[in-house]
């Protein structure tokens, strides 16, 4: 039987999955994570589809992504010696302006994706390192790139562009949007389970360490909060989200900060961590109960409400609001605050359903259906790898 491996490499983490194929559909066998790559406390863990722990170990020898990948692939080959890896699906953050679907990776397509690294310097090089390592390990397997930007390629020019002279658009300075694999999963899930909503106007809030929102009409992206980079829009664990570009000019020109310092500030020291002075982790903030932690959550949910209004305007109204991602799926507090005073848009939460993370958390009176749908980016990658392979 053919098997598919999925890889999702971040700057210090590597998520992976192993899928069997049944009747042409991927069927998960195990998923796992290597995090804190490069530190003395790198951690590698894997769980079977039923939730049983397969592996859980701290290691001081995972110095880089090559070693992490090598350990993951060795682990999978040891635990599942019968698996025949026919395809490896890679999450690639940036597909540029033209890639609107997954593609087979070849030496030529890899080179062209490398040229996009300056657009996503903190993500793209790691994604591609995973692809190179997997090619070496499984030279006969199809290597398939699945882009976070692809889902948004249906957006109109007014959504895509910044108000800069046209030559900047031509050089690639435009809004790309991210988290596309997650939005693709949610749109597909709605198509199967709630076709009326899928055909309507939906806002999806993907709230994790990275956070963004997307307006989807008839299953297609019409607007998103992330733009040129994964920095724009909502505040995140450590990223600032939307910020007046004048602030950056002030820091660079008046305060003498170096570009690298500003980048570090915006990507690693801001967001929930910067506001709370405590943690980037929503669970820790909810537990802390300090004024600063409360303020960080209040800012996060205020920006969600503002973006909800903006994306609903782009859609011409709202039929459904979907929460997903680690925070969206688990934090009743964030969902409750995000929906507070949104009655004008037709949103009314059922507080018991919200507390229990039910699938539908809106009341019977609510004009807008509010839902909690766990995302599954790995499944989208595995499906795409099988499709492209066949
Ligand atoms: P990533 O973007 O790294 O994939 P996740 O989607 O896993 O992130 O989301 C991580 C976030 O989800 C963290 O802020 C974590 O605190 C939050 N989270 C997970 N479980 C809960 C929970 N039960 N309550 C509140 N927040 C949670």
User: Which pLDDT band holds residue 77 (cuts at 50, 70, 90)?
Assistant: confident
In this structure, are 349 and 200 located in the same domain? Answer: yes
pLDDT attached to residue 13: 85
Atom 7 in ligand 1: residue holding the nearest Cα: 326
Give the residue from 118, 243, 226, 231 showing the smallest Cα distance to 175: 226
Is 217 a member of any domain? Answer: yes
Which of 36, 226, 233, 282 to probe ligand 1 with, by most ligand atoms within 8 A of CB? 282
Q: How far is the CA of 282 from the centre of ligand 1 (A)?
A: 6
CATH of the domain at 291: 3.30.420.40
Is 173 a member of any domain? Answer: no
- Asked if pLDDT for residue 121 goes beyond 90, the answer is no
In this structure, are 203 and 332 located in the same domain? Answer: yes
Q: Check residues 265 and 60 and name the one with the higher pLDDT.
A: 265
pLDDT attached to residue 116: 94
In this structure, are 116 and 201 located in the same domain? Answer: no
pLDDT attached to residue 9: 84
Is 120 a member of any domain? Answer: yes
pLDDT attached to residue 52: 95
In this structure, are 207 and 356 located in the same domain? Answer: yes
Least confident of 9-18, 328-337, 364-373: 9-18
Average pLDDT over residues 110-138: 89
Give the residue from 58, 113, 81, 60 showing the smallest Cα distance to 3: 81
Q: Which atom belonging to ligand 1 lies closest to the Cα atom of 206?
A: 6
In this structure, are 52 and 117 located in the same domain? Answer: yes
User: Which pLDDT band holds residue 281 (cuts at 50, 70, 90)?
Assistant: very high
In this structure, are 130 and 249 located in the same domain? Answer: no
Query: 20-72 pLDDT, tens per residue?
Result: 999 889 999 999 999 888 888 889 999 999 999 999 999 888 988 889 988 99
In this structure, are 202 and 342 located in the same domain? Answer: yes
Distance CA 222, CA 70 (A): 39
Percent of the chain with pLDDT over 90: 86
Token duo for residue 262: 């500003």
Q: How far is the CA of 212 from the centre of ligand 1 (A)?
A: 14
What are the catalytic residues? 148
SS3 of 34-54: EECCCCCCEEEEEEECCCCEE
Is 245 a member of any domain? Answer: yes
Average pLDDT over residues 246-273: 97
Average pLDDT over residues 315-328: 97
Is 141 a member of any domain? Answer: yes
Atom 21 in ligand 1: residue holding the nearest Cα: 330
Phi, psi of 42 (to 5 degrees): -60, 145
Q: How far is the CA of 330 from the centre of ligand 1 (A)?
A: 7
pLDDT attached to residue 266: 96
Number of structural domains found in the chain: 2
Q: Which atom belonging to ligand 1 lies closest to the Cα atom of 333?
A: 25
User: Which pLDDT band holds residue 1 (cuts at 50, 70, 90)?
Assistant: confident
pTM, two decimal places: 0.95
Q: Check residues 148 and 122 and name the one with the higher pLDDT.
A: 148
In this structure, are 277 and 128 located in the same domain? Answer: no
Ligand 1 contacts (CB < 6 A) are 208-210, 237, 281-283, 286, 325-327, 330-331
Domain assignment of residue 254, given as a range: 195-372
Mean pLDDT of the chain: 95
pLDDT attached to residue 315: 98
Is 31 a member of any domain? Answer: yes
Percent of the chain with pLDDT over 70: 100
Q: Which atom belonging to ligand 1 lies closest to the Cα atom of 209?
A: 2
Q: How far is the CA of 123 from the centre of ligand 1 (A)?
A: 20
Query: How would DSSP label each residue in 172-188?
Result: T-S-----HHHHHHHHH
pLDDT attached to residue 222: 97
Which residues of the chain form beta strands (DSSP E)?
Answer: 2-9, 14-22, 25-35, 42-48, 53-59, 84-92, 103-104, 142-147, 201-207, 211-217, 220-224, 320-324, 369-372
Q: How far is the CA of 58 from the centre of ligand 1 (A)?
A: 21
Q: How far is the CA of 159 from the centre of ligand 1 (A)?
A: 29
In this structure, are 98 and 242 located in the same domain? Answer: no
Atom 13 in ligand 1: residue holding the nearest Cα: 281
pLDDT attached to residue 217: 98
Query: 155-199 pLDDT, tens per residue?
Result: 999 999 999 999 999 999 999 999 999 999 999 999 999 999 999
In this structure, are 138 and 210 located in the same domain? Answer: no
Query: 208-224 pLDDT, tens per residue?
Result: 999 999 999 999 999 99
Residue 332: burial class (beta carbons within 10 Å; 0-12, 13-18, 19+): middle
In this structure, are 133 and 200 located in the same domain? Answer: no
Is 183 a member of any domain? Answer: no
Which of 326, 337, 380 to probe ligand 1 with, by most ligand atoms within 8 A of CB? 326
Q: Is 18 helix (H, G, I), strand (E, B) or coil?
A: strand
User: Which pLDDT band holds residue 11 (cuts at 50, 70, 90)?
Assistant: confident
Q: How far is the CA of 329 from the centre of ligand 1 (A)?
A: 8
In this structure, are 199 and 140 located in the same domain? Answer: no
Atom 23 in ligand 1: residue holding the nearest Cα: 330
- Asked if pLDDT for residue 10 goes beyond 80, the answer is no
Atom 22 in ligand 1: residue holding the nearest Cα: 330
Is 108 a member of any domain? Answer: yes
Phi, psi of 279 (to 5 degrees): -160, 155
Which of 283, 323, 380 to probe ligand 1 with, by most ligand atoms within 8 A of CB? 283
């Amino acid at each position: 039987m053919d098997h598919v491996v999925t890889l999702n490499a971040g700057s210090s983490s590597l998520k992976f999955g192993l899928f069997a194929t049944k009747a042409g559909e991927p069927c998960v066998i195990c998923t796992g994570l290597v995090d804190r790559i490069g530190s003395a406390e790198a951690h590698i863990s894997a769980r079977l589809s039923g939730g049983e722990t397969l592996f859980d170990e701290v290691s001081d020898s995972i110095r880089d992504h090559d070693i992490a990948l090598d350990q993951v692939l060795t682990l999978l080959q040891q635990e599942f010696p019968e698996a025949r890896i026919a395809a490896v699906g890679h999450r690639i953050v940036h597909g540029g302006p033209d890639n609107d679907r997954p593609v087979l990776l070849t030496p030529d397509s890899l080179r062209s994706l490398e040229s996009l690294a300056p657009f996503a310097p903190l993500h793209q090089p790691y994604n591609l390192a995973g692809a190179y390592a997997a090619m070496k390990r499984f030279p006969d397997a199809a290597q398939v790139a699945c882009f976070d930007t692809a889902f948004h390629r249906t957006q109109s020019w007014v959504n895509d562009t910044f108000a800069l002279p046209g030559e900047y658009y031509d050089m690639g300075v435009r809004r790309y949007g991210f988290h596309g694999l997650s939005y693709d999963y949610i749109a597909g899930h709605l198509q199967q389970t709630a076709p009326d909503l899928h055909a309507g106007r939906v806002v999806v809030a993907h709230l994790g360490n990275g956070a963004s929102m997307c307006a989807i009409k008839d299953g297609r992206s019409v607007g998103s909060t992330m733009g040129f980079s994964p920095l724009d829009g909502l505040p995140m664990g450590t990223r600032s989200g939307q910020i007046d570009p004048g602030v950056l000019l002030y820091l660079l020109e008046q305060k003498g900060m170096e570009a690298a310092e500003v980048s570090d500030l915006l990507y690693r020291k801001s967001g929930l961590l910067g506001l709370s002075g405590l943690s980037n982790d929503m669970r820790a903030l909810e537990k802390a109960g300090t004024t600063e932690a409360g303020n960080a959550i209040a800012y996060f949910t205020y920006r969600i409400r503002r973006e909800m209004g903006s994306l609903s305007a782009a859609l011409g109204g709202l039929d459904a609001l979907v929460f997903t991602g680690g925070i969206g799926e688990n934090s009743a507090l964030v969902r409750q605050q995000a929906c507070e005073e949104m009655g004008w848009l037709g949103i009314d939460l059922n507080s018991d359903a919200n507390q229990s993370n039910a699938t539908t958390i809106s009341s019977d009176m609510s004009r807008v259906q509010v839902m909690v749908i766990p995302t599954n980016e790995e499944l989208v990658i595995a499906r795409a790898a099988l499709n492209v392979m066949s």
